[in-house]
Amino acid sequence: MIELRYFAWIRERIGLNGESFASGAKDVSSVIQELRLRGAPYDHVFADLSGIRVAVDQTVVEFDGSLVGAREVAFFPPMTGG
């Protein structure tokens, strides 16, 4: 079981702060594919990944990042400093 966390507009569009997700996925892309199969709103949120960043166990990774041994995956928009 992996804990998924959603932040900012992603949280607003999905309607959840997070959820437990049972998956045998080996990487982030595979989890995204499984989420998109749930239909709206997941399909709409993850249709364009250019505005989404991801962290596995609080370390920012690319979409091909491994989930082996992972406990948490967080999805969030790019951040800016200031």
DSSP string, the chain: -EEEEE-HHHHHHHT-SEEEE----SBHHHHHHHHHTT-TTHHHHTS-GGG-EEEETTEEE-TT-B-TT--EEEEE------
- Chain segment 11-47, per-residue pLDDT in tens: 999 999 999 999 889 999 999 999 999 999 999 999 9
Instruction: Select from 2, 3, 8 the least CA-distant residue to 51.
Output: 8
The CATH number of domain 2-76 is 3.40.50.300 = no
Peptide bond into 78 cis (omega under 30): no
Q: What is the pLDDT of residue 81?
A: 57
Q: What is the pLDDT of residue 8?
A: 95
What is the domain partition of the chain in residue ranges? 2-76
